[in-house]
Amino acid sequence: MHMDVRAYIEAHRDEFLSSLKEWLAIPSISADPAHHGDVRRSARWLADHLSATGFPTVELWETPGLPAVFAEWPAADPAAPTVLVYGHHDVQPVDPLEEWETRPFEPTERGTSLFARGASDDKGQVLFHALGVRAALAASGADAPPVTIKLLVEGEEESGSVHFAELLAANRDRLACDVAVISDTTMWAADTPSMCVGMRGVTDVEISLYGPDRDLHSGSFGGAVPNPLKAMSDLLSGMHDDDNRVAIPGFYDGVVEASEEERALIGRLPFDEQEWLATAASRAVWGEKGYSTLERIWLRPTAEINGMWGGHTGAGGKTIVPRSAHAKVSFRLVPGQEPLRIQECVRAFVEANTPDGLRVETEFGGGVRACASDLSSGALKAARAAMERAFGTQVLFTREGGSGPEADIADILGAPLVFVAVGLDEDRIHAPNEKVEVPLLLKGAESAAYLWEELASAGR
């Protein structure tokens, strides 16, 4: 049976890639209202594909925002466990467009890589599950999978999953499962398969400071009225202390520190800082004093300025005191940090640091709690076994610094999480020239095929 799964997947490689390219050609950017029609098209494409795959139940689930896709394929044995697979079909914006070597929505293979926005995050990783279930059925000769498979693929992940918790709560019964499989993360390296066992949460804010009612001539008024860009620089600069810790009062309250044992395990990973810097295309490390780079991105909360603007940003000079200044800041969260409480801390900090004569507005995005797997659960062991069969080598544990709405799945559905994914840090997700490694997508499909079987044996 082992050979059969792999052989099936190899035989259907071209068909799989052809479907994936069709899907990647749809620019489903959820953060941009101009592309909301495309996000809807993307949902319909996936629904059609899952129907063609054989899922007896396929539905578009509308939200007040953009639709998710739900599919279900019941196990022949009603006593078999139920597995919920989570992914998303929306993608990040593509600017700066001029830095793409090939156009973001014209999927292009170069070597073993497939380039397109969403190739790795997350369409490629959603689609390998469809191939995996077909491979599992082909190998077993059965008409139905050994576990009940549910897929939930949302359309608002890249714009903060604002309606996802609501969707989960409203459909709690139909989504009931024994384990949730998350396929929206990365492995340690192409030759070092690993499973993620925790993710940071996130929340974000757009801060606007308003000064004079119009831009002022800096000759007539400069040096004598508050400058919103100066005030914003002071405010953002004050968000970290000299040890690069976040200086917002209350920010670290309740943080569940990682155990010394876990920090020791992280220290044993074959981490090459120079190689990591090359992947980051950065020239230096930076961060909170007292922590290693991996600890900084996996175990520690952050405040990060994602964008900032104000005043004259065009060609040439313009000697003004600008009327306003704006910044987008996001916060990575760790277990123990409730997004809504962090938002209150940020609001209070911003207001306390707005100088006299300026008006401040804060607009908060959604919040996602951090999450972590139970390392002793049967589901985690089954997933690890499936990946080890596919890759033929030991699978290690990591965490991820990024976040999806995984914590909501764990909280609202009461299901343990396991992460099965094959993205790489160098896939350039969220940046120009995003790609995915095709051989790893096929390993992902193979892992999925074994996963149903391992989970069926493990119970839950």
Residues within window 146-175 making contact with its own copies, judged by CB under 8 A: 159-160
Task: Tell which one of 321, 396, 412, 418 touches its own copies (CB under 8 A).
Answer: 321
For its own copies, which is the closer residue by CB, 3 or 315?
Answer: 315
Residue list 227-266, contact with its own copies (CB under 8 A): 227, 229-230, 232-234, 236-238, 240
Phi, psi of 326 (to 5 degrees): -135, 145
CA distance 112 to 233: 44
For its own copies, which is the closer residue by CB, 70 or 100?
Answer: 100
Segment lying near its own copies (by CB under 8 A), choices 25-33, 67-75, 168-176, 440-448: 25-33
Place of tokens 């380039």: 115
Contacts of residue 81, defined as CB under 8 A and 6 or more positions apart, other chains included, come to 147, 148, 178, 179, 455, 456, 458, 459, 460
- What is the distance between the terminal CA atoms of the chain, rounded to a whole angstrom? 23
Place of tokens 């997933």: 383
CA distance 439 to 441: 5
Question: By CB under 8 A, is residue 311 in contact with its own copies?
Answer: yes
For its own copies, which is the closer residue by CB, 78 or 286?
Answer: 286
Task: Tell which one of 305, 348, 352, 375 touches its own copies (CB under 8 A).
Answer: 305
Question: By CB under 8 A, is residue 97 in contact with its own copies?
Answer: no
Helix (H, G, I), strand (E, B) or coil at 350: helix
Q: Per DSSP, which regions of 157-200 are E strands? A: 179-182, 194-199
In one-letter notation, the amino acid at residue 312 is: H
Segment lying near its own copies (by CB under 8 A), choices 30-38, 42-50, 138-146, 390-398: 30-38
Question: By CB under 8 A, is residue 431 in contact with its own copies?
Answer: yes
Q: Least distance in Å: CB of 425 to its own copies?
A: 6
Q: Least distance in Å: CB of 266 to its own copies?
A: 13
Question: By CB under 8 A, is residue 355 in contact with its own copies?
Answer: yes
Q: Least distance in Å: CB of 166 to its own copies?
A: 19
Q: How many residues bind its own copies (CB under 8 A)?
A: 98
Question: By CB under 8 A, is residue 350 in contact with its own copies?
Answer: no
Question: By CB under 8 A, is residue 117 in contact with its own copies?
Answer: no
For its own copies, which is the closer residue by CB, 211 or 444?
Answer: 211
CA distance 349 to 331: 14
Residue list 32-71, contact with its own copies (CB under 8 A): 32-33
Task: Tell which one of 330, 336, 377, 411 touches its own copies (CB under 8 A).
Answer: 330
Report angle CA 30, 35, 38 to the nearest 5 degrees.
Answer: 95
Question: By CB under 8 A, is residue 297 in contact with its own copies?
Answer: yes
Task: Tell which one of 214, 259, 289, 376 touches its own copies (CB under 8 A).
Answer: 214
Measure Cα distances from 392 to 6, 385, 395 in Å: 12, 10, 9
Helix (H, G, I), strand (E, B) or coil at 374: coil
Two tokens at 422?
A: 């094959």
Question: By CB under 8 A, is residue 219 in contact with its own copies?
Answer: yes
Measure Cα distances from 311 to 160, 218, 319, 389 in Å: 28, 12, 10, 57
Two tokens at 92?
A: 């990040």
Question: By CB under 8 A, is residue 378 in contact with its own copies?
Answer: no
Measure Cα distances from 178 to 82, 181, 378, 408, 420 in Å: 5, 10, 11, 15, 16
Segment lying near its own copies (by CB under 8 A), choices 49-57, 126-134, 264-272, 322-330: 322-330
For its own copies, which is the closer residue by CB, 240 or 381?
Answer: 240
CA distance 454 to 389: 10
For its own copies, which is the closer residue by CB, 141 or 317?
Answer: 317
Residue list 77-96, contact with its own copies (CB under 8 A): 92-93, 95
Task: Tell which one of 52, 264, 285, 352 touches its own copies (CB under 8 A).
Answer: 285
Task: Tell which one of 141, 191, 261, 286 touches its own copies (CB under 8 A).
Answer: 286
Q: Least distance in Å: CB of 262 to its own copies?
A: 18
Task: Tell which one of 42, 125, 186, 447 touches its own copies (CB under 8 A).
Answer: 186
* Longest distance between any two alpha carbons in the chain, whole Å: 82
CA distance 385 to 380: 9
Q: Least distance in Å: CB of 1 to its own copies?
A: 36
Element (H, E) at 326: strand 324-333
Place of tokens 């079987």: 453
